[in-house]
Amino acid sequence: MQDSAKEKDIYMEYANIVKRFLISLSGNVDLADDLTQETFYQAYKSIHRYNGNCKMSVWLCQIAKHVYFDYLKEEKHLQKVDLDTLDLFAVQNAKKSYGQVFWLRAYEEMSFKEIGEILGKSENWARVNYYRAKEWIRRRMESDENNL
């Protein structure tokens, strides 16, 4: 297969996962769109370094995380990140690590090992944070119901 065709296939298959991951990090849909493009640009440049040790989606999310952090390092961007666009009422208000871990587990259905790899933590860190996030959300929903 020609390289450009292969790249297009990878993009078609994984663009949504990468975009949703970037939304969960940044909380900003437009920014996530831009950073998704940047992520695939970086990925194509270093596709020869992908060795199949982790899933393609995990590899791409790791790149996306670096792209996002590079973006944040440019100080002028720090103010612009906007947290309301993701309408996940409970998760977006939780501790940031809760939101990310819960997102990757419950919505992207990744294993704790993969989540640890993406976020640069241990498998157990991911597991503990997932259950804490779940408990946080459960309580939050319970108190919302009581206030109706």
Partner 1 sequence: MKITCDIINDLLPSYVDGVCSEDSCKLVEEHLHDCAGCSQKLKYMKNPIKCPEYRLQKK
State the minimum distance, in angstroms, from the CB of residue 41 to partner 1. 23
Residue number, 13 or 30, with CB nearest to partner 1: 30
Report residue 114 as tokens.
């993969």
Q: Can you tell me which of 3, 74, 75, 87 binds partner 1, judged by CB under 8 A?
A: 87
* Sign (positive or negative) of CA dihedral 34, 71, 59, 6: positive
Other C-beta atoms closer than 10 Å to the C-beta of 82 total: 13
Q: Which is nearer to partner 1, 35 or 91 (CB)?
A: 91
Do residues 100 and 132 touch, judged by C-beta distance below 8 A?
A: no
In this complex, which beta carbon is closest to partner 1, that of residue 42 or of residue 111? 111
Q: What is the spatial distance between Cα 63 and Cα 117, in angstroms, rounded to a whole number?
A: 11
Closest separation in Å from C-beta 3 to partner 1: 31
The closest of 16, 74, 14 to 44, measured between CA atoms, is 14
Q: Please, which of residues 38-57 interact with partner 1 by CB under 8 A?
A: none
Q: How far apart (Å, rounded) are the C-alpha atoms in residues 72 and 70?
A: 5
Applying CB under 8 A, what is the total number of residues that bind partner 1? 23
Per CB under 8 A, the segment of 40-48, 54-62, 65-73, 122-130 that binds partner 1 is 122-130
Tally Cβ neighbours within 10 Å of residue 133: 23
Site residues (CB under 8 A) for partner 1?
23, 29-30, 84-91, 106-107, 124, 127-128, 130-131, 134-135, 137-138, 141
